């Protein structure tokens, strides 16, 4: 399963948690979760039947600015998969691991979320 989020710049964990008021962080998280939910419907992503799964999140950035792959915020994206009922839950019974990577200097900002069985 592959979910593609075009024209989307994945937020960094540092930016999410450094000095940002909890209410703004909460609002951004909900926005991302609902975006993932809507795109799962639009892209006809089917629910996972066999667990546990591995999730790979690749964030493509247009800018060539140096980035830490570990700072790609993934919680909101995975919670969106749960909201869309693509995965039952994100605890270790259902998700073995979540891997993030950042690739800079690409044609556009986008995120690809892959579920590997």
Tokens, residue 43: 């892209």
Taking a C-beta distance cutoff of 8 angstroms, is the pair 10, 111 a contact? yes
Residue 106 DSSP symbol: -
pLDDT bin (cut points 50, 70, 90) of residue 17 is: confident
Q: Where are the domains of the chain?
A: 2-116
Can you spell out the DSSP letters for 5-53?
A: EET--PPBHHHHHSS--HHHHHHHHHHHHHHHHHHHHHTTPPPP-SS-E
What does the pLDDT look like over 20-73, one tens digit per residue? 888 999 999 999 999 999 999 999 999 999 999 999 999 999 998 888 888 899
Topology (CATH) of 2-116: 60s Ribosomal Protein L30; Chain: A; (3.30.1330)
User: Global pTM?
Assistant: 0.93
pLDDT value at residue 19 = 78
- The span from the CA of 21 to the CA of 34, in Å, is 20
């Amino acid at each position: 399963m592959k979910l593609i989020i075009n024209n989307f710049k994945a937020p960094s964990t540092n930016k999410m948690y450094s000095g940002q008021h909890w209410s703004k962080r909460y609002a951004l998280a909900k926005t991302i979760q609902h975006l993932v939910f809507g795109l799962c419907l639009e892209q006809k992503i089917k629910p996972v039947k066999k667990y546990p799964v591995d999730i790979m999140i690749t964030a493509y950035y247009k800018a060539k600015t140096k980035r830490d792959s570990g700072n790609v915020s993934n919680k909101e994206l995975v919670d969106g998969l749960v909201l869309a009922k693509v995965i039952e839950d994100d605890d270790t019974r259902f998700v073995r691991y979540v891997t993030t990577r950042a690739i800079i200097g690409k044609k556009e900002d986008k995120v690809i979320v892959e579920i590997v069985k």
